[in-house]
Amino acid sequence: MRKKQIEATVYQYTLIIIILIALAYRGGRDFLFQKNEAEITVELKDIQEIYPRAANYELNRHGAYDVYGKKNQKIGTALLSSNYTKQFGYGGRVPLLIGIDDNLTITEVLLLPNNETSDYIQAIYGDEFIGKWEGVNLEDATQFQVDIISGATHTSKAVIAGVKHTASSVMKSDASVIAETSLWATIKDMLFLSLMLLSLVMVFKKGTAKYRTIYMFLVLVIMGLIFNNALSAQLLHGWLKDGFAWRANWQTAVVFLLALTVSFIGKRKFYCNYLCPMGALQELTNRFTPFKKRKLPTTYKGLSVREVYLVLIAGALLLGFSPELSYTEPFMFFSFRVVGIGLIMFGLIVILLSLFFTKPWCAVCPTGCFLDTVSYQKAKKLEF
């Protein structure tokens, strides 16, 4: 690589690192991989969500919150899950406030502020999931089985594990956090690892283009419908704020590291072209549409829409705004079982545009813009 090429690559990475550090610091980090631990606190308004008659509360010697009414009579106790365990959902930590009575029976479970998608949170609340914990004794809660919510897998797993580990710590017993059968979990892991291996074969081995339609269908089914897991601005922001949730979301971490590695060694847009479920959905629609396809015009005087979009999102976060990042991209469409009509319409619009334009969302995708920036091949092709 020539000197100017090296300088261009160094400039790109320096710019990215500065942006990441700024976003991480804005999210509460002293350093990129060191997080302040004082951000999860309990306020009276949180306590009143569980105990409406609460007038004050205090932390007792056991690490729980004793709750008192207006006449200073004790009306219950609240447990903060982050005092006992750390559980991660799709977008970061998922702290819980668990109300219990004098008989150690759960009265209510409340999700404290987190980085999960609001549609996931709405799916969590209800008698079919979080409501099932009400009336369960803490001792029984360590082994109590609640089915995960299809489409909100990581969030529901985090809630289940949070309740069980908190109950286990209080009762000094072992918690069973198995939320799905080991056979299905093993099948999912095997499908995922097989797809990762197949993606490398597709990108590096010649003569595989004739199998691309079948491969895209596998990406759509495995990455989209089974895992509901795509790299996104929301996910990356959650990682910057709370760190990699390796145990809860190891598949996405593997995809991210693989995307960066393969892109850096010269295969531009590896994730976008080989692992993104939204990219696969658009490409399959492009292949079977009867209409003539055109490229969506997204560049004006050398400035692309997706670069502007990415800068606007990063700028909003740096300025202290808290946009619902899941609504800035259509990836939540694959969680159609739990998301609202707005996100479903977002995905359907992308599909509709794909009938007439070549991968329309890819032309404006901020996550794709970020991943494409960390490509050695892009720097190599610069003209000097």
pLDDT at 59 over 70: yes
Can you give the CATH number for the domain in which 150 is found?
3.90.1010
- Last residue of some domain: 124, 147, 171? 171
Instruction: Give the domain range for residue 246.
Output: 3-33+181-380
Our count of domains for the chain comes to: 2
Q: Is residue 373 part of a domain?
A: yes
Residues 222 and 355 grouped into a single domain: yes
HSE (CB half, 13 Å, CA atoms) of 347?
19
Q: How far apart are CA 199 and CA 261, in angstroms?
A: 13
Q: How far apart are CA 82 and CA 76, in angstroms?
A: 19
Q: Is residue 241 part of a domain?
A: yes
Q: How far apart are CA 9 and CA 261, in angstroms?
A: 15
Q: What is the pLDDT, as a whole number, of residue 87?
A: 81
pTM over cut 0.95? no
Q: Is residue 61 part of a domain?
A: no
Residues 293 and 202 grouped into a single domain: yes
Residues 194 and 154 grouped into a single domain: no
Q: Is residue 224 part of a domain?
A: yes
Q: How far apart are CA 94 and CA 103, in angstroms?
A: 26
- What residue has token string 């004794």? 137
- Last residue of some domain: 171, 194, 215? 171
Position 156 confidence tier, pLDDT thresholds 50, 70, 90: confident
Position 34 confidence tier, pLDDT thresholds 50, 70, 90: very low
Residues 260 and 333 grouped into a single domain: yes
Q: Is 138 helix (H, G, I), strand (E, B) or coil?
A: helix
Residue 166, Cβ neighbours under 10 Å: how many?
Answer: 29
Residues 202 and 335 grouped into a single domain: yes
Q: pLDDT by residue (tens digit) across 255-312?
A: 998 988 887 777 778 999 999 999 999 999 999 988 888 888 777 766 778 777 877 8
User: CA dihedral in degrees (152, 263, 372, 288; nearest 10)?
Assistant: -70
On whether the CB atoms of residues 118 and 322 are closer than 8 A, the answer is: no
Residues 142 and 8 grouped into a single domain: no
User: How is residue 134 written in tokens?
Assistant: 């009400």
Residues 322 and 342 grouped into a single domain: yes
Q: How far apart are CA 375 and CA 267, in angstroms?
A: 8
Nearest alpha carbon to residue 334 among 216, 213, 224? 224
